[in-house]
Structure 1
Amino acid sequence: MHTASSVLVTGCAGFIGSHLTEQLLQRGYRVIGIDNFDPFYDRTLKEENLSNVLGHGQFHFIEADIQGLDWQSQVVGPVDSVIHIAAKAGVRSSIEAPAAYVQTNIVGTNNLLAWMQGQGVGKLVFASSSSVYGNNPKVPFSENDAVEQPISPYAFTKRAGELLTYNYHHLYQMSVVNLRFFTVFGERQRPDLAINKFVRMIAADQPVTMYGTGDTSRDYTYVGDIVTGILAAHDYVAAHPNTYEIINLGNSSPVSLQTLVDTLYDLMGKTPNIEYLPKQPGDVERTFADVAKATRLLQYQPTVSLREGLRRFIAWHEAKSL
């Protein structure tokens, strides 16, 4: 690839987006990053996420919300491809405020796609989610499974995004890879997510609150593996004009909530202290990625185990707390 290649990254200040932006810059791309510092969590955390790239000569930052159109006039120079990570996140809060999720995740995504079509930008990687599978009875979850029964507004807005990208692929020959992420964790993880919350509780010697009996399971995937998968998908759309794919990115080894918490206590050298609370609505029983397609098309091979990824997260958290 030549250094002139420009990538527009939405959600560049978030957990996954900031790691991705750093990797793109390291690979020699010019990156135009958009983020609105959504107040879902503290702005200073996102500013910290961007601290490694803000002074980079090949990085151009636009503070804007994709729900509006004002960002479009701020995009400088040609754009070769788009990686769309920006979204309102969180299953539980989507149940409390579904309209905001429709606005950002559906209207915002359509604004972006319409802008791409108008500018003749024909390559897109879209961040979808394993939540589209709902309580799928069949495991592992395969891209061919029916996903017509979302159990949260967040899930249905992510499925809507996949359908929107298909529409633009069909009408305008846009090359699209939709990536369904499975429970991403690692350094910079959002503070509302379980691992980040649990580590803070354990560090403060507070009891860990666990919803349900601990038997729900998640296919925890380390952020570095996810970013490697996104970069491979970005290479794939560049090499395959007029393609449309939906691809799982997971670790393909689900772990129960109880095991996760036990592992954290073990790594942090503390005695388990767990408070069990009733299950939350909208939470799926389990996630489990079939990654055969990702391996076939993207040579995707997750390399970081849950234990190693948790060790890295705890080290990051401790360094930040000093």
Structure 2
Amino acid sequence: MSRVLLTGASGFVGRATAVGLLAAGETVAGVGRNPAAMPAGVTPVIADMLGEPDAVVGFLREARPETLIHAAWSTEHGRYWSDPANLDWTARTLGLVRAFVEAGGRRIVTIGTCAEYDWTVLGGEPCREATTPLRPHTLYGAAKHAMALLVGAYCGTTGVAHAHARLFLLYGDGEQPARLVPSLARSLLAGQPARTTSGRQVRDFMDVRDAGAAIAAIARSDRTGAVNVATGTPVPVRAVAETIGELTGRSDLLEFGALPDRPDDPAYLVADVGILTGEVGFRPTISLRDGLRHAVAAWRSGPGAADHGH
């Protein structure tokens, strides 16, 4: 058992990661603005990562956690790809990491994104950590990639272990309402048409509960470097929409092709998960249908809003 500091602990990915850590017997302190949204068992450190960094630094010096998982970041749907706040988050991350190392920390897990990869060269091949080119086409992807490079280089000079978890397409309870799965579920549950693109795009969908457990497993492992966090299973977006239609009983309201396919949207975006399964030893346990059933049930009962964080 080790002492873990988890930023973004009241956010979408942070909450799931906290659950995974607690299930593994870790002692978890969580940084966030909304302690009520953190899972029971997490010791809250109430702070705004952008506005109150000194509060987190003070906690580091006092509590001296052994592991840092940095899940806090701005991910407002429709804005985060080009949000100038990505620059602020990169700067805050570097300050946080330095303070953690200077307080005696030994292991860091940063949270990255599949948007770090060059989507224009994939064809039908999965993204591989060691060989797929890293050439982000968005400010968000570039900020995450730059952050990982800088943190990795700094850790290399200090003897601190660093792993970088690259998340693919997550869904689940607490997801922002405008994203794909919630937007479809909410429309269909309300008896309204759900307008979509053709749905031919192939993606790698993962339940956020599995993602949180995977991040916890990475933190508890000896793996350093990048690790794709995904299922490795290619699924057409249309199949996801059709499953949500079946689960809500409103397949008749799905309108495929009502929205144009975006020309810059990759046709195929799937992860190679050999490192996650082989070196970390983690395998997802939640099927797509079961995960979507859980998500639809959550939206049917009316979930609350998440704090900032992935």
The TM-score normalised by the length of structure 1 is: 0.84
Paired residue for 1:285, among 267, 278, 293?
267
Is 1:188 paired with 2:168? no
Q: CA deviation at 1:228?
A: 2.1
Counterpart position of 1:247: 227
Give yes or no for contact 2:113–2:166 (8 Å, CA) kept in 1. yes
Structure 1 residue 47: Cα displacement = 6.0
- How far apart are the structure 2 equivalents of 1:91 and 1:287? 19
Q: What residue number does 2:299 align with?
A: 317
RMSD between aligned alpha carbons? 2.3
* Equivalent position amino acid for 2:282 in 1: Y
Task: Establish whether residue 116 from structure 1 lines up as the match of residue 100 from structure 2.
Answer: yes
Deviation at 1:303, TM superposition (A): 2.0
Q: Percent identity?
A: 24
C-alpha distance after superposition, 1:35-86 (max 9, x if no partner): 24xxxxxxxxx66632x42xx4x61322221465322124442211101111
Q: Give secondary structure in 2 for the equivalent of 1:247.
A: strand
Distance 1:192 1:91, change over 3 A: closer
Paired AA for residue 49 in structure 1: A
Partner of 2:28: 31
CA deviations 1:272-301 (Å, max 9, x no partner) are 332622344764433211111111111121
Q: In the alignment, which residue of structure 2 is the partner of 1:12? A: 9
Indicate conservation of the 8 Å contact 1:13/1:47, yes or no: yes
- Residues 95 and 16 of structure 1: is their aligned pair in 2 closer, same or farther, counting only changes over 3 Å? closer
Counterpart residue number, 2:192: 206
- Alpha carbons of structure 1 residues 96 and 224: separation in structure 2 relative to 1, 3 Å: closer
> Does 2:145 align with 1:163?
no
Match of 2:248 among 229, 253, 268: 268
- How far does the alpha carbon of each residue in 1:2-44 deviate from its partner, in whole angstroms, 9 at most, with x for none? xxx21100100011111222332343332221124xxxxxxxx
Q: Deviations over 1:164-223 (max 9, x none)?
A: 22112221121011111111112222223210111111111222132x422112100112
- CA gap of 1:67–1:48, structure 2 versus 1, over 3 A, is closer
Are the aligned partners of 1:91 and 1:154 in contact in 2 as well (CA < 8 Å)?
no
Structure 1 equivalent of residue 126 of structure 2: 140
Give the number of equivalent residue pairs: 298
Q: Which residue is 2:203 aligned to? A: 218
Aligned partners of 1:169 and 1:244 also within 8 Å: no
* AA partner of residue 28 (structure 1): G
Q: 1:95 to 1:66 in 2, by over 3 A?
A: closer
Instruction: Give the aligned residue type for 1:174.
Output: V
> Letter of the aligned partner of 1:269 in structure 2?
G
Q: 1:266 to 1:280 in 2, by over 3 A?
A: same
Distance 1:276 1:145, change over 3 A: farther
Take 2:241 and 2:27, find their aligned partners in 1: how far apart are those partners? Answer: 40
CA distance in 1, matches of 2:177, 2:13: 13
Distance in 2 (alpha carbons) for counterparts of 1:281 and 1:158: 24
SS of 2:79's equivalent in the other structure is helix
Matches for 1:97-116 after TM superposition, within 5 Å: 97=83, 99-104=84-89, 106-116=90-100
Relative distance call for 1:47 and 1:213 in structure 2 (3 A) is farther
Of 278-287 and 137-146, deviating more is: 278-287
Flag the 1:74–1:117 CA change in 2: closer, same or farther, 3 A: closer
Residues 41-190 of structure 1 mapped to structure 2, 5 A cutoff: 49-50=37-38, 52-53=39-40, 56=41, 59-66=43-50, 69-71=53-55, 72-75=57-60, 76-89=62-75, 92-97=78-83, 99-104=84-89, 106-135=90-119, 136-138=121-123, 139-190=125-176
Residues 32 and 62 in structure 1, CA contact (< 8 A), matched pair in contact too: no
Q: Secondary structure at the match of 1:157?
A: helix
Contact 1:127 1:180 in 2 (8 A): yes
Q: CA deviation at 1:160?
A: 1.2
- Change in Cα spacing, 1:304 to 1:26, as seen in structure 2 (3 Å) is closer
